[in-house]
Chain A
């Protein structure tokens, strides 16, 4: 059976357990799991310090306040804590840059940091245009049989495959 100190659990078991997280989300908050709109909440809250006028943008205002927005921010902070806990229990704490990047790109640390920054920017730009990411459209939208989420997930895989194939093979 799965132990807390195992390095890896069956992806089917872990995936199904992630699916169970929809129960508290729907019962207690009336919303589905999601992660990418928390970026808007944090970024807009930080920007408001320098530009109070950002609140005039309806999209920003809709993400700045309220239980659901800050629930999602807490959720992604919790993700980091949970991963730290799991990796500590199993002795798989990571450091530096994953070895796959040198194999796939040949870049040194500086190049990889730049690539990660650009990747993050593009990722959130796309997620906000599509109104959801792997969690909101993928896990939650597909579990609600939403047509828009089927389109978004298909496009996400298409864009991901097309981009990843430009890199060197990971194996």
Chain B
């Protein structure tokens, strides 16, 4: 595919992606921060539904020989250390690398700074990569997937895991309906759980 066609395809897919991120409310900083404080589970609902559908899609595409999987290499040290750092960054930013752009599109101001910091972080890593490479590759396992470990066809295990995720989501919905986590402004910000401190008394007008 030519670069121009790839860019046009990316734009079209991105518009759909951003539209869905906004409609699902998962781009809201209160939703992302609330997920990490275990007070709002909209992020997990969107995430697990996306994984479940992805599993079904890839079971079909690979099962019918239309596509081949492209899993990332397993790098246990880098995956664990990088994941921890990534999570800390997501909590501070209130965004993931993709949802930053959805926050900008929706009109928030501070994600422009998240984006700038992200670009600088990516650049810093690029310059450091030659020095970090041996450490990042430590204990690397190459391509390693759960179906390979268990010795079952990918499409079978993918459909089983997707079914389990669907059951988990159903249980989550009966535990707490997603609308209960939406908040009045649809931003995932819910009234404080603890009783609010009494409002500061307004000075009484002098008699």
Contacts and interface: CB of A to CB of B under 8 A. Distances in A.
B114 A76 contact: no
Contacts of A100: 28-30, 33-34, 94, 187-189
B74 to A, nearest CB: 4
Nearest to B24: A14
Nearest to A141: B72
Interface size for chain B: under 10, 10 to 19, 20 to 34, or 35 or more residues? 35 or more
Nearest to A76: B101
Given A15-B48, A121-B89, A43 B123 contact: yes
Which secondary structure dominates chain A's binding surface?
helix
Given A82-B15, A171-B193, A32 B85 contact: no
A30 B68 CA distance: 7
B167 to A, nearest CB: 12
Interface string A93-111: 1111111110110000100
Contacts, number: 582
A114 B147 CA distance: 44
Which secondary structure dominates chain B's binding surface?
helix
Nearest to A165: B37
Interface of B: 1-3, 5-30, 33-40, 42, 45-58, 61, 66-76, 78-111, 113-127, 129-130, 132, 136, 141, 144-147, 149, 154, 157-158, 161, 169, 173, 178-179, 182, 185-193
Lowest 7 A-B CB distances belong to which pairs?
A: A78-B14, A19-B53, A82-B18, A130-B82, A155-B83, A123-B89, A159-B87
Given A19-B49, A39-B97, A67-B3, 12 more contacts: A18-B50, A22-B57, A44-B126, A63-B126, A122-B86, A125-B124, A134-B97, A143-B57, A147-B146, A148-B141, A156-B83, A159-B86
